[in-house]
Amino acid sequence: MADLNLINIKGNTYYIPLPTIVGVYLDGQDAVLIDSGNNKDNSRKILRLLEANNINVRLIINTHSNADHIGGNAYMKGQTGCKVATTKLESYFVEYPLLESSFLYGGNPSKALRNKFLLAKESTVDYTIDSDGEILDTGLESISLPGHFFEMIGIRTPDDVLFIGDSLMPQNIIEKYHLFFLYNIEEQFKTLDKLDKLTASFYVPSHSVHMEDIHDLIAVNRNKIDEIMENIEKICMVPKTVDEVLEWICKIYSVVLDANQYVLLGSTIRSYITYLYDNDRVEYVFEEGKMLISKKQTNI
């Protein structure tokens, strides 16, 4: 990886461009980090960059507990003595990362799922914070943005820069991969509606660049979710198991699975099915030891 850069967005708000962006808010020479990178190696490079600019890390605020957002916590805490803050539900996953791969798999995960992509090194959470409101004495504000994960938050800095975590996927990723991980479709739709109404000078999705307007991106995300649900309904005109639904979705979007993608996309498909079931668009059919998903027939 090339040398990292500290890019100014506005005022005292910066970010470090990585596959998962790390936000930096400066109070004098002290820094609050928004997420910490995906692993120890990147965390080491982040710390080297900050030290070269005479910046001290005081606090990490995790938007949520996915491994690529918390993977640098442990190294950064060990090297700097900084504190970590996140919401209560996400804190359990930060402190016990095995919960994520266990939740995704639905059981005790095999060694194929015990990797740094899904399993960050555990780190102690020093402060649990509310999903909405002021964050300790930092001047930063948390904004509840669930959907992608249980209790994910966005973080607004005093410069009116809003880091929005994984609430929006960039268009190039959607066009290439189509499917992206979502835990709760109902909450994701609410978050998209909320983002549509929120104002900020700049928005920073975790896997993109900072931008002044996100309305088009919101529409791209919403349209893709709707498209996937419509495809699931078509697939289930003939009842299918969940794995068969996943198989057909992978065929439609030319997705090649490995162990990590199987649990991530399998969990996401289950979340789509939950939304469709709760909204009376599909039903469960149990036969011969199988649960089948069937498009619900409407009486005209």
With a cut of 60, say whether residue 272 has pLDDT above it: yes
With a cut of 70, say whether residue 299 has pLDDT above it: no
With a cut of 70, say whether residue 111 has pLDDT above it: yes
Given 226, 243, 267, the domain boundary residue is 226
Output the domain CATH number for residue 45.
3.60.15.10
Decide if 191 is inside a domain: yes
Q: Are residues 109 and 235 in the same domain?
A: no
Q: Are residues 173 and 193 in the same domain?
A: yes
pLDDT value of position 131: 98
Decide if 27 is inside a domain: yes
Output the domain CATH number for residue 258.
1.10.10.10
Decide if 1 is inside a domain: no
Question: What tens digit of pLDDT does each residue of 168-220 get?
Answer: 999 999 999 999 999 999 999 999 999 999 999 999 999 999 999 999 999 99
Q: Are residues 153 and 56 in the same domain?
A: yes
Q: Are residues 83 and 140 in the same domain?
A: yes
pLDDT value of position 300: 54
Pairwise CA distance, residues 73 & 84, whole Å: 8
With a cut of 80, say whether residue 73 has pLDDT above it: yes
Pairwise CA distance, residues 33 & 72, whole Å: 11
Range of the domain at 237: 228-295
What's the mean per-residue pLDDT of the chain? 96
- What pLDDT band is residue 1 in, cutting at 50, 70 and 90? very low
Percent with pLDDT over 70 in the chain = 99
**Dihedral sign, Cα of residue 180, residue 260, residue 241, residue 280:** negative
Beta-bridge mates of residue 222 = none
Name, in order, each residue with C-beta under 8 angstroms of 278's C-beta and a sequence gap of 6 or more. Answer: 186
What does DSSP assign to residue 111?
G
Decide if 300 is inside a domain: no
Q: How many domains does the chain have?
A: 2
pTM, two decimals, is 0.96
pLDDT value of position 298: 74
Residues 239 and 293: beta-carbon distance below 8 Å: yes
Given 206, 226, 246, the domain boundary residue is 226
Q: Are residues 27 and 138 in the same domain?
A: yes
Q: How far lies 147's CA from each of 12, 34, 89, 189, 204, in Å? A: 29, 19, 13, 8, 17
Q: Are residues 182 and 238 in the same domain?
A: no
What does DSSP assign to residue 152?
-
